[in-house]
A = this chain, B = another copy of it.
Amino acid sequence: MKKAQAVERIDQMPVEARPARPNDYLSDNHPVWCPGCGHFFVLRALTKALAWLGRPAEELAMITGIGCSSRLPAYLASYGFHGVHGRALAVATGLKAARPDLTVLVAGGDGDGYSIGGNHFLHACRRNMDLTYLVMDNEVYGMTKGQPSPTSAPDWHSKLAPHGTGINAFNPMGVALAAGASFIARGFAGDPKGLTKLISDGIEHKGFSVIEIKSPCVTFRPEQKAWQKQMRSLNVSPTPNKLEAAQAIHASDGFDTGIFYQADLPIFDPQSEATTTLDELEQELVL
């Protein structure tokens, strides 16, 4: 298999090779999202980050599951895989193992990633492969029209939980930290600059990068429009110390953004080299 290459930054490339604009990373397809949906802004920040990093679109692959957020690949000019609900990280793991030369991005929603996809989330963190995972967290299942997700507050009322779920919200960053992810950040769809920076840092980080992005669902959680006032832009600084990170994650009211944890941890990067021929292997069968 092809060997992994370092991600090249746009500023290290010869001028003529530099991609012109974030729009070069956009496809012609118009998003099906509701007007005002936070996911539009995530798409924007992502293309900006990609332009900044400057890898050609054909060397990128964006893998997703199912959900409003998971519609992302069709809007990018990169390769994409829009798979089944909750399994994007597994598809990405297979792809990255087969093709370490590619920049493999994964995206999805809080339902896709933390509910049905929870097990792959745990194990992707643990494997710490060089993947970047963007979770567009709107604390709701948008696509299926408004059910509570693991990150919904216990007292949020919905059809499915008329009195709220009564269950504490899932703590994605805390779990990612305990499970072994090496880059853990929170961003906000409404903070284009900050988010662009976080995404490009996440992609450049070697290892599994989790970026938990607060991205309002204007249709089923209109009250999330208030996030625009509440979120703080990149007010957190990275630490490579697990306990400090745990403390920062624990102490945050959920409105802080920035990199909460970044460390050099061993990366699962299965090496293999053709050193034998098939004929030699077949000889083993012979009596």
Q: Which residues of B contact A179 (CB under 8 A)?
A: 170-171, 174-175
* Complex alpha-carbon distance, A118 and B126, angstroms: 12
* Complex alpha-carbon distance, A250 and B122, angstroms: 17
What range describes how many residues of A lie at the interface?
Answer: 20 to 34
Q: Are A175 and B122 in contact (CB under 8 A)?
A: yes
Which listed residue (B119, B166, B243, B270) contacts A119, Cβ 8 A? B119
Give the number of copies in the complex.
2
Q: Which residues of B contact A119 (CB under 8 A)?
A: 116-119, 122
Any chain B CB within 8 A of the CB of A9? no
Any chain B CB within 8 A of the CB of A168? yes
Any chain B CB within 8 A of the CB of A177? yes
* Complex alpha-carbon distance, A1 and B214, angstroms: 39
Q: Are A266 and B126 in contact (CB under 8 A)?
A: no
Any chain B CB within 8 A of the CB of A263? no
Q: Which residues of B contact A170 (CB under 8 A)?
A: 122, 126, 179
Contact residues of A between 261 and 287, Cβ < 8 Å to B = 265-266, 268-270
Question: A181 to chain B: closest CB distance in Å?
Answer: 11
Q: Which residues of B contact A117 (CB under 8 A)?
A: 119
* Complex alpha-carbon distance, A179 and B173, angstroms: 10
* Complex alpha-carbon distance, A126 and B174, angstroms: 12
Chosen A-B contacts, 28 in total, with CB atoms closer than 8 Å, are: A117-B119, A118-B118, A118-B119, A118-B123, A119-B119, A119-B122, A122-B170, A122-B175, A123-B150, A126-B168, A128-B168, A166-B266, A166-B269, A166-B270, A167-B268, A168-B180, A168-B266, A170-B179, A171-B178, A171-B180, A174-B178, A175-B175, A175-B179, A177-B178, A242-B250, A243-B247, A243-B250, A246-B246
Interface residues of A (CB under 8 A from B): 115-119, 122-123, 126-128, 150, 154, 165-168, 170-171, 174-175, 177-180, 242-243, 246-247, 250, 265-266, 268-270
